[in-house]
Amino acid sequence: MSISKELYKKILIPLNKTKNLQNSINKTSNLVSPLITNFEKWSGKQIKLQNNEIEPINLQSNVFAKILASPVRLDRVSKTRLPQLLLNQLNLNLKDKELKLSGVNGLKAQHSYVLNSFKILQKNVKAAAGIIPLHVLSSGKMNQSGLKIDVSNVLTSFKTDLLGEVTRQLFELKPNPQGDIKLIYDKANHQTVFFTENSKGSIQICFNLSLLDACEPLHKAWESDSIHILSSENITLLIQLYKLLKLIEQN
């Protein structure tokens, strides 16, 4: 004898639980997966924007994006891996047994990297062996006994060279009213690099040159309190300027 569908349900599911089960099914069917809606509320992620709500960003001309996107290198002093453009290149002349810091990271083979900080270098570098390129140390080709390093002289020479190069480029700048970078010379402002809002309400990067005494004549030649330049045309200068200002600021 065949069993009816209703009787079959009653055998498998107690009668007193049928209504509760049905109510639960009805409620569940009305729910929508959080993967589809309100994702940002439960995930902690940023709100998703539609394509037409996103302003185009030119990261190729963004100083900080350029710095952070540079290849990672090992800082010989702190043993920390950092973006290359946050570090300074320490070049070793094997013939003259001379160590020299370079403001622009070149392509020389015998080099290592150190943090862009006078205080850290003066405090932690006690001997040349601590900053000699690792591949030179491991090769055994160099007699370390003849190699000495005067940290103060190396740092002073580096600062002088970098200041001279940056100042030269600043005097050759071509201001552009539509530029996305603002340069000021304000002794009352102790900030060196900061964000500010332009007349259109957009955020722009501002460099304060007041720590560079050599730039005072440049400021006097400006027709206003500030000038604007294009980052896309001056990206190398801006990176050098950022490193120089931070170096002087920390000193």
Question: 185 falls in which pLDDT band (50, 70, 90)?
Answer: very high
Is residue 34 in a domain?
Answer: no
Q: What's the number of domains the chain is made of?
A: 2
In this structure, the answer to whether residues 203 and 236 fall within a common structural domain is: yes
Is residue 24 in a domain?
Answer: no
From residue 148, alpha-carbon distances to 77, 88, 125, 129, 135 in Å are 17, 19, 12, 9, 18
Does residue 206 have a pLDDT over 70?
Answer: yes
Burial-class residue 84 by CB neighbours within 10 Å (0-12, 13-18, 19+).
middle
In this structure, the answer to whether residues 212 and 192 fall within a common structural domain is: yes
Is residue 19 in a domain?
Answer: no
* 7-21, 41-55, 136-150, 202-216: segment of lowest average pLDDT: 7-21
The answer to whether the beta carbons of residues 196 and 246 sit under 8 Å apart is no
In this structure, the answer to whether residues 121 and 152 fall within a common structural domain is: yes
% residues pLDDT > 90 (the chain): 9
Q: Which domain holds residue 155?
A: 59-163
216-244 per-position pLDDT tens digit: 888 888 878 889 999 888 998 999 999 88
Angle between helices 235-250 and 151-171 (to 10 degrees): 140
pTM of the full structure: 0.68
Give residue 140's pLDDT: 63
* 14-28, 130-144, 166-180, 203-217: segment of lowest average pLDDT: 14-28
Give residue 107's pLDDT: 46
Q: Extract the tokens encoding 95.
A: 């013939």
In this structure, the answer to whether residues 158 and 226 fall within a common structural domain is: no
In this structure, the answer to whether residues 130 and 180 fall within a common structural domain is: no
Is residue 21 in a domain?
Answer: no
Find all residues with CB under 8 Å of 127, minimum gap 6, and list them.
149
